[in-house]
Structure 1
Amino acid sequence: MALTGLNRCTYALCLAVVLDAVGLVTLLVGIFGNLQWGGRDYGDMLIYTGAIVVFASLIGWVFWYTGNIEITWEELGNDYHPRDTKLQRIVRKISRSISMRNGEGRITRAGTTRDISPHPKRGDRGHQEERGSKAEEPQGGRAMD
């Protein structure tokens, strides 16, 4: 089934049509209806409310219209020419470094993991002992963290 203007963005189209209908009915009731309650006239309130609702329906119409704009990849490629400025290179470098981090303060690259956390984890002392040399604990009353 080929997509036509009514098949795409149906929620935005329905929103726009419903708001137009509600706003128009409210506006016409405010103009032609004799709405008095407790000695007060509510016609002006309905007129203003209807106008505001009709104006709000423009949001749906704009979404529907922009959602139905068609552009080919060739047209997009002809119109869009990226410029490589210093600021864009800096932002790209920062973005890549952030996207390479996982949630534990580690950088992951091509299957390797490197710890970049500022403080060593408890229990990480003793790497030298595993390699064969004996490391002594600091002398004194407190152990360093």
Structure 2
Amino acid sequence: MYRALFSPDVFAELDRLQREMNQALEFSPSIRGLARGGFPAMNVGSTPQAVEIYAFAPGIDPASIEVNLEKGVLTIAGERASDLPDKEAKANVHIDERFAGTFRRVVTLPEDADPDKVSARYRDGVLHISIQRREAAQPRRISIQ
């Protein structure tokens, strides 16, 4: 009786339903972050002194990453080459989860970010961008006389 109610492979059916829902929603959070448009994964935060941005882009040559700041908008762009075998190799690819291709991420900065005080470092696959806040925006203690 129960065999007629359930598919022989319940997990395959659940996986198919999840894929269909992800395609329908176009915006699907997953354990790896955003499924679409989420490379490189980023952490953006701020302190009273600076805006800190971390872009996680392992395996990319730092010389191929472009970081631009214009009118309060920070853009990170570049390209990651595919590690898959060429089509002429006639190899079968069974799982391909690593992003390959061009990417572009855009972050709107707060008004007090100083475009003249920006530093960018790439180390161990992590691009760290620090944008200092303007001096006038820094919190300061006022002495009482």
Indicate the TM-score class for this superposition, using the shorter chain for normalisation.
Answer: under 0.3
Q: Mark the structure with the bigger radius of gyration.
A: 1
User: More strand per residue: 1 or 2?
Assistant: 2
Select the structure with the greater relative contact order (CA < 8 A; seq sep ≥ 6): 2
So what's the TM-score if we normalise by structure 2?
A: 0.23
Q: What's the TM-score once normalised by structure 1's chain length?
A: 0.23
Q: Which structure's residues are more often helix, by fraction?
A: 1
